[in-house]
Chains A and B, each alone.
Chain A
Amino acid sequence: MNKKKALVGVFLSTGLLFGCSQKEETAEKPKEKEAAPVSSELEGVSTEYREYAIGEIEQFVQATDAFTQAVIAGNLEQAKELYAPSRMHYERAEPIAEVFGDLDPKIDAREGDVPEAEWTGYHRIEKGLWIDNTTAGYEQYAEQLMKDVQLLRAKVETVDVTPELLVTGAVDLLNEVSTSKVTGEEDRYSHTDLYDFAANVQGAEKIYQLLEPALKEKDSALASDIEKRFADVYSLLDQHKQGDAYKLYTELTESEVKDLSLAIDALAEPLSQIGIVTEAS
């Protein structure tokens, strides 16, 4: 989950921390930001992205259903197996999923992000599965998680995907990678961070692919640079993949972690220019 959003949940407003009024959003309401002045072409892209994100959330519901059932049934090994792949759907659609400042922490908060008594969701169960090595006592969290995910599915229909959400969402996904996945803090008990890493990159790539035709018209050199950087990141990730499974974070060497981190920086810098698609041509 997004650290910043967790703070929003706790302190109500990042404005309190940074004196920045732009981000004043309450935990209860979805983000409402002014849309950029855009062409109808970009409106079409927004619609397409909305469908993609809802599709991912739909699959997230199904995957979470299987995961939580395994927990409730006391099937420890199966629950462990389903944990990381289920989360990938959420991580791909994070720009949309985290719009709901109240649900995101319930589903995805890490230990310490919220007061202990309020800590629920995937990472709470993760700690049970890997640290306590049991499902016993975690059934209630599984039931609550399923309810929260279903609520997310219902609410996500109401999201208005603005071009700005797309433009910032692509880089935000990579920023998530830089600040929590590449440091091994996201899945600190299961060490399955690379699944979340890959899913964030895939989510960013989806946005990029949707904006690519518009970007090529404005700056084709930038577009090909971004494509090359995506390929670099995937080729590094592939080195840590066996079949469908990614290596554990703890199996990576220090220099492999650094290479992954630098590859994300090299991708995110040109990708941050994608906002030029909002300019009138």
Chain B
Amino acid sequence: MAETQKDSSLFVKKVSRRNMLKTAGAGGIGVLVGASGLGGILSITKASETEQVDNTVPFYGKHQAGITTEVQNHLYFASLNVTTENKQDLVQLFKDWTAAAEKMTKGEPLAESASNAYIPPKDTGEATGLSASNLTITFGVGPTLFVKDGKDRFGLQAKQPAELQGLPKFPLDALEDAWSGGDICIQACADDLQVAFHAVRNLVRIARGKAVIHWAQTGFQRSKQADAKKETPRNLFGFKDGTINPDVKKDSDMNQQVWVQQGDGPDWLAGGSYMVVRRIQMYIEVWDRTTLSEQEKTFGRHRDSGAPLGMKQELDTADYKAKDSNGQPIIPKDSHMALSHGDGTQSILRRAYSYESGMDPQTGSFDAGLLFICFQRRPSKQFIPIQNRLAQSDKLNEYIIHRGSALFACLPGTKQGSYIGETLLS
């Protein structure tokens, strides 16, 4: 089985990339390719010379992947509760997870096929033969890993950062326990949903007896294939979402806004980042019967171009002071964009995905919306003040409701021979 697998993946590589042309030139497959026309051959040439064949994102590094990594097409997010009371179990769990995550992000199965047919296969198998698909697996710890019901569960209370507290209750929050909190989170992102699900499924399997899923949610964006121009993705209200996002390629910005620095709090988290997750249901039926003008005023942007109201291009700078002929601000003060911007001093790295979970059985409406995810260095200075403004007066609140909420400290990255969470647990 292992042999066949190797052989076939070599075969795929040989045929699907540059080598295909060589083979084609040699005659054998030439007929087949020829049938699809000359243009086909040319376009393959172009792709194979410019396209990066390697679609793996390294698991090891100073920071965990999946934060400043280019956003993949799919997300599988899981919040887990720890059931073991033994700290050594927890350490072992993170060691096992690190080894498994490292393999899976390389596109490798957890084990070659078993020699003993009387035990279940170690890898669940559905990603066999699939590429790594830019899989990233990001681990975080929630406040309840430290203290739950007043109990210092693993002797970690002294290490709990002041920033890692439950988020405050914001006005209009309609949070449900079934979509909130968690001791540990696993964010798996990949360009293939089956690859992302496989990752979380196997990690949860490894955790059996030590931790269980508390809640989970899939997420999606338009795929890269569907959007060759790589425009800003649109949310389920049809508007571009994420136009203003810090530049992940600028290390100085990331250090300023995303990565926890030495001295910010306990140093075990230096190189990590705080992750806010909000499951925001969007009343899409209500939105769909709202006039275009009202929709645009709600966001503060034009729907088609994504430009700030009064401007032409998506990336044009918004003019919050401009007035219309009636003396009203062109970008309403209670628009989502104006309130998010505030005085421009707070910034977060958004990495949200749309979600849809079929029908809401209570209403017959879609249960769809946004799994809002953002990363930051200090929630108290970034997400919390922004969300306070939004929750108080955002026009968008008529069309959305926050059903779930969680805050995690995403652990610093790790290197070969160490494990994720070592700085916290050792």
Pick the most buried of B83, B118, B119: most chain A CB atoms within 10 A of its CB.
Answer: B118
A interface footprint on B91-129 (CB within 8 Å = 1, 0 otherwise): 000000000000000000000000011111000000000
Q: Is the beta-carbon distance between B116 and A279 smaller than 8 angstroms?
A: yes
A interface footprint on B187-219 (CB within 8 Å = 1, 0 otherwise): 000000000000000000100110010000000
Nearest Cβ distance between residue B114 and chain A, in whole angstroms? 9
Binds B, one of A4-12, A13-21, A184-192, A261-269: A261-269
- A143 interfacial by beta-carbon distance below 8 Å: no
Which A residue sits closest to B208, measured CB to CB?
A: A269
Given contacts A266-B208, A276-B116, 12 further A-B contacts (CB under 8 A): A36-B118, A225-B209, A229-B209, A265-B208, A266-B209, A269-B205, A269-B209, A270-B208, A272-B119, A273-B120, A278-B118, A279-B116
Q: Report the Cα distance A274→B83, complex, angstroms.
A: 23
Within 8 A of B (CB), among A142-177: 164, 167-168
Which B residue sits closest to A262, measured CB to CB?
A: B212
A interface residues, tally (CB under 8 Å):
19
Q: What are 25 residue pairs bridging A and B, where the CB atoms are less than 8 Å apart in the complex?
A: A36-B118, A167-B118, A168-B118, A225-B209, A229-B209, A262-B83, A262-B212, A265-B208, A266-B83, A266-B208, A269-B208, A269-B209, A270-B208, A270-B209, A272-B119, A272-B120, A273-B119, A274-B119, A275-B116, A275-B119, A276-B116, A276-B118, A278-B116, A278-B118, A279-B116
Within 8 A of B (CB), among A235-281: 262, 265-267, 269-270, 272-276, 278-279
Q: Report the Cα distance A225→B83, complex, angstroms.
A: 14
Q: Report the Cα distance A265→B116, complex, angstroms.
A: 22
Which B residue sits closest to A272, measured CB to CB?
A: B120
Q: Which A residues are in CB contact (< 8 Å) with B209?
A: 225, 229, 266-267, 269-270
Q: Which B residues are in CB contact (< 8 Å) with A278?
A: 116, 118
Q: Report the Cα distance A49→B117, complex, angstroms.
A: 22
Which B residue sits closest to A168, measured CB to CB?
A: B118
Which B residue sits closest to A279, measured CB to CB?
A: B116
Binding site for B on A (CB under 8 A): 36, 164, 167-168, 225, 229, 262, 265-267, 269-270, 272-276, 278-279
Q: Report the Cα distance A275→B117, complex, angstroms.
A: 8
Nearest Cβ distance between residue B95 and chain A, in whole angstroms? 15
Q: Report the Cα distance A276→B83, complex, angstroms.
A: 27
Q: Report the Cα distance A276→B117, complex, angstroms.
A: 9
Q: Which B residues are in CB contact (< 8 Å) with A279?
A: 116
- Within the complex, which residue of B83, B118, B205 is in contact with A275, where a contact is CB–CB below 8 Å? B118
Q: Report the Cα distance A278→B116, complex, angstroms.
A: 8
Q: Which B residues are in CB contact (< 8 Å) with A269?
A: 205, 208-209
Q: Report the Cα distance A275→B114, complex, angstroms.
A: 12
Which B residue sits closest to A167, measured CB to CB?
A: B118
Which A residue sits closest to B213, measured CB to CB?
A: A262
Q: Report the Cα distance A229→B212, complex, angstroms.
A: 15
Nearest Cβ distance between residue B100 and chain A, in whole angstroms? 15
Q: Which B residues are in CB contact (< 8 Å) with A267?
A: 209
Q: Is the beta-carbon distance between B208 and A276 smaller than 8 angstroms?
A: no
Q: Report the Cα distance A265→B204, complex, angstroms.
A: 11
Which A residue sits closest to B115, measured CB to CB?
A: A279
Smallest CB-CB A-B distances: 10 pairs: A275-B118, A275-B119, A269-B208, A266-B209, A278-B118, A272-B120, A167-B118, A262-B212, A266-B208, A273-B119
Within 8 A of A (CB), among B113-154: 116-120
Nearest Cβ distance between residue A279 and chain B, in whole angstroms? 6
Q: Report the Cα distance A270→B119, complex, angstroms.
A: 10
Q: Report the Cα distance A265→B211, complex, angstroms.
A: 11
Q: Is the beta-carbon distance between B118 and A164 smaller than 8 angstroms?
A: yes
Which B residue sits closest to A276, measured CB to CB?
A: B119
